[in-house]
């Protein structure tokens, strides 16, 4: 397995941990992690030499860009909204965002995924800055670095795919950790 | 040529056969304005399908071309059955979402707006849907089901659902456990308390059994068809759009943009599933405008003309420019809407129908080629005579004289 496959494995493990621990309580976050995790798992296979899954991996990555990142941003900014707090709400959002995003991308708007991902990262960063949350800001920063690496592509002097995967893994771990702490804090406030 | 053109002939013949059988058995199955409204909606959905559904199919084909695992061979019958099973599973979910998501219900509600249940109801299809089922079918494209195989399977699934819209067929024994049947589909169309959000399957009912949405038809409670908030109109355009208008009103009244989005995504009863009034089947009365008999006859004659126009449209549309395609679609839409308005007893419909007939007569007189169809002089003369007779009727008759006026 090459570096891209190994880094995708790290990302898949982080996503698996999020799905296992958050899907029931924070379905928006869990579903976003599931979409990214499926893409990462397919990436592990693809970069491990299973060429057959190249197409599905690219499709899952596109779906993550157009649907999972906006859902993640929504879940972090408005954690009590039905889209973040109900599985049915999150799934409907994925269907709509995914439907629009896939259609737009395939019918010529090839920058749609990058634009939606960048907007989502911006929303997450603004949210974390407004909350003056250092861990969250670090997570949003990692997300922005990952996306910048993806945008740089082959022009970058480093392996942009590895940076994308590891940046995403770090971002998800940090942002989810922060969300957990805030949830505990809000429970304490309720008590 | 679109297979729907052939299917439409079978549909119309079977509808007439069913109506005759029901009449012979003394069953109150068909109401002419209701059936014509369903048929108008079916015609419009085909016209809209040319414009909208092709987009969904195009996206499917692109996903297949760019991302498919490996193309499925089309010469293996077992793979066709497997593809149908997978498609039907996604159909179940898209149909379920059509009922459980406000925005999608706005599109699908038309199919449930008839308070009768017969073969014509099967054709009461939406002109605004079609993309969601295709989007949910994307996994089939990824798995490698070729677009043509997908199109044929989708058509088989759709055509299968036609025959289950009837009251003439009772329970079908073991088949009730596996397939969608007239009995379990009657439940799906019911507005009785026990029928709400049940039996979403397309070909196989097993999905409902797996996901817990199955309900048997009850012998002790007759199914009452339709929706709790009746559309009360025979206008095919309005029955397509009325729930979108309701949603727009709800969104206007709802403060905050995130809450407005929730209006679209939440179930029709809201996220909290606000309790609906208990339904009393015995107290239900069907919508009936008391449409005069001559208006019904007029509407039937013009429906036949509409079917001929629709068949011609579907045959030639691929060779028409976008502008001509839209113009032809407008001709068909205008015909369905004004005739629907006459059935509704709407005052505006009489003037609009006269204007439509005058415009059509003028077009036939000055335009020897009707959307690529060269019409001999004798045919044009006959058409002008027929339309002139219609115009005379439209100017003389008062469709609202006996009908309950449209609200």
Write out pLDDT tens, residues A65-101.
999 999 999 999 999 999 999 999 999 999 999 999 9
Q: Where residue A191 falls among pLDDT bands split at 50, 70, 90? A: very low
pLDDT for position B100: 94
Question: What pLDDT shows up at residue B401?
Answer: 63
Chain B residues lying within 8 Å of A53, measured CB to CB:
69
**A65 alpha-carbon distance from chain centroid:** 8
Give the per-residue pLDDT at A160. 87
A55 → closest Cβ in B66, B258, B271: B66
Contact check, Cβ <8 Å, A55/B100:
no
Predicted pLDDT at B399 = 63
User: Residue A189 has what pLDDT?
Assistant: 41
Give the number of other CB atoms < 10 A from CB of residue A111. Answer: 11
pLDDT at position B186 over 70:
yes
Q: How far is CA A91 from the centre of its chain?
A: 15
Q: Which of A30-34, A95-99, A175-179, B228-232 has the lowest mean pLDDT?
A: A175-179
More confident residue, B15 or B57: B15
Give me the torsion for CA of B230, B236, B238, B239, rounded to 10°: 30
Distance CA B44, CA B330 (A): 10
Mutate to test the interface with B, among A59, A91, A105, A109 (most CBs of B within 10 A): A59
Instruction: Reply yes or no on whether the pLDDT at A136 is more than 50.
Output: yes
Question: How confident is residue B124, by pLDDT bands cut at 50, 70 and 90?
Answer: very high
Chain B residues within 8 angstroms (CB to CB) of chain A = 55, 58-59, 62-63, 66-70, 97, 100-101, 131-132, 135-136, 138, 142, 258, 261-262, 265-266, 271
Question: What is the pTM assigned to this prediction?
Answer: 0.91
Query: Does B1 have pLDDT greater than 90?
Result: no
Beta bridge partners of B369: B374
Q: Are B126 and B108 in contact (CB under 8 A)?
A: yes
- Touching check for A3 and chain B: CB below 8 Å? no
Q: Is the pLDDT score of A190 beyond 60?
A: no
Residue B400 has pLDDT above 80, yes or no: no
The mean of the pLDDT values for chain A is: 90
Is A80 in CB contact (< 8 Å) with chain B? Answer: no
CB < 8 Å from B in window 88-127 of A:
88-89, 92-93, 95-96, 98-99, 102-103, 106-107
Share of chain A above pLDDT 90, in %: 76
Closest CB to B271: pick one of A52, A58, A86. Answer: A86
Task: Give the residue, B274 or B127, on which the prediction is more confident.
Answer: B127
Q: Which residue has the higher pLDDT, B277 or A139?
A: A139
Are A102 and B97 a contacting pair at CB < 8 A?
no
Q: Which of B60, B135, B147, B257 to mutate to test the interface with A (most CBs of A within 10 A)?
A: B135
Out of B69, B262, B266, closest to residue A56 by CB? B69
Chains A and B form CB pairs within 8 A to the count of 61
For residue B183 the two structure tokens come to 């009995």
Contact A82 B97 (CB under 8 A): no
Least confident interval from A123-132, B19-28, B74-83, B232-241: B19-28
Q: What are phi and psi of B143, to 5 degrees?
A: -65, -25
Q: Look at A82 and B131 and tell me if their CB atoms are within 8 Å.
A: no
Q: What is the spatial distance between Cα B118 and Cα B124, in angstroms, rounded to a whole number?
A: 10
- A106 interaction partners in chain B (CB closer than 8 Å): 59, 62-63, 66
* 3-class SS letters over B347-365: HHHHHHHHHHHHHHHHHHH
pLDDT band at B402 (very low <50, low <70, confident <90, very high): low
pLDDT-based confidence at B4, cuts 50/70/90? confident
Whether residue B69 and residue A83 make contact (CB cut-off 8 A), yes or no, is no
> How large is the average pLDDT for residues B108-114?
96
CB contact under 8 A, B55 and A86: no
A188 — pLDDT class (breaks 50, 70, 90): very low
Shortest Cα–Cα distance, B69 to chain A (Å): 6
Residues of A in contact with B70 (CB under 8 A): 52
Q: Which of residues B28 and B177 earns the better pLDDT score? A: B177
Q: Partners of B179 in the beta sheet?
A: B204
């Amino acid at each position: 397995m090459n570096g891209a496959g190994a880094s995708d494995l790290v990302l898949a493990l982080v996503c698996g941990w999020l799905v296992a621990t958050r899907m029931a309580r924070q379905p928006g976050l869990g579903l976003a992690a599931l979409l990214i995790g499926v893409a990462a798992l397919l990436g592990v296979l693809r970069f491990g030499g299973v060429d057959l899954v190249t197409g599905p991996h690219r499709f899952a990555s596109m779906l993550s860009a157009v649907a999972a990142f906006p859902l993640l941003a929504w879940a972090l900014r408005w954690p009590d909204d039905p889209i973040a707090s109900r599985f049915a709400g999150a799934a409907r959002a994925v269907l709509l965002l995914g439907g629009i995003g896939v259609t737009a991308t395939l019918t010529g708007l090839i920058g749609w995924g990058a634009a939606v991902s960048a907007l989502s990262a911006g929303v997450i960063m603004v949210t974390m800055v407004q909350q003056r949350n250092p861990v969250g800001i670090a997570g949003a920063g990692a997300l922005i670095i990952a996306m910048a690496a993806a945008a740089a592509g082959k022009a970058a002097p480093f392996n942009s795919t590895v940076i994308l995967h590891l940046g995403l893994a770090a971002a998800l771990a940090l942002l989810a950790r922060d969300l957990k702490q805030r949830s505990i804090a809000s429970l304490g406030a309720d008590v | 040529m679109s297979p729907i053109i052939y299917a439409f002939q079978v549909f119309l013949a079977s509808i007439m056969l069913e109506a005759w059988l029901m009449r012979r058995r003394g069953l109150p199955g068909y109401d002419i304005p209701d059936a014509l409204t369903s048929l108008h909606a079916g015609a419009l959905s085909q016209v809209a399908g040319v414009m909208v559904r092709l987009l969904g199919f195009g996206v499917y084909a692109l996903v297949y071309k760019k991302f498919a695992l490996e193309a499925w061979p089309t010469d293996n019958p077992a793979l066709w059955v497997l593809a149908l099973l997978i498609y039907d599973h996604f159909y179940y979910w898209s149909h379920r979402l059509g009922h459980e998501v406000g925005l999608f219900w706005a599109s699908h509600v038309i199919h449930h707006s008839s308070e009768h249940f017969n073969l014509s109801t099967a054709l009461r299809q939406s002109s605004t849907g079609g993309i969601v089922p295709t989007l949910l079918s994307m996994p089939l494209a990824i798995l490698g089901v070729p677009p043509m195989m997908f199109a044929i399977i989708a058509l088989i699934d759709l055509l299968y659902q036609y025959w289950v819209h009837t009251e003439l067929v009772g329970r079908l024994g073991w088949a009730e456990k596996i397939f969608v049947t007239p009995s379990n589909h009657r439940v799906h169309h019911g507005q009785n308390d026990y029928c709400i959000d049940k039996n979403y399957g397309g070909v196989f009912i097993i999905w409902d059994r797996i996901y817990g949405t199955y309900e048997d038809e009850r012998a002790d409670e007759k199914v009452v068809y339709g929706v709790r908030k009746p559309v009360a109109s025979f206008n095919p355009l309005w029955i397509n759009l009325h729930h979108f208008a309701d949603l727009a009103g709800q969104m206007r009244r709802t403060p905050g943009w995130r809450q407005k989005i929730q209006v679209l995504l939440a179930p029709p009863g809201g996220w909290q599933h606000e309790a609906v009034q208990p339904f009393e089947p015995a107290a239900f009365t069907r919508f009936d405008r008391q449409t005069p008999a001559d208006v019904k006859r007029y509407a039937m004659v013009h429906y036949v003309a509409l079917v001929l126009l629709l068949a011609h449209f579907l045959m030639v549309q691929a060779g028409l420019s976008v502008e001509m395609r839209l113009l032809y679609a407008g001709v068909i839409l205008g015909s369905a809407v004004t005739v629907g308005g006459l059935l509704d007893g709407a005052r505006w419909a009489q003037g609009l129908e006269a204007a439509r007939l005058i415009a059509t007569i003028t077009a036939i007189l000055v335009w020897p080629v009707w959307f690529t169809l060269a019409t001999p002089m004798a045919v044009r003369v006959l058409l002008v005579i027929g339309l002139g007779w219609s115009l005379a009727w439209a100017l003389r008759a008062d469709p609202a004289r006996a009908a309950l006026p449209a609200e």
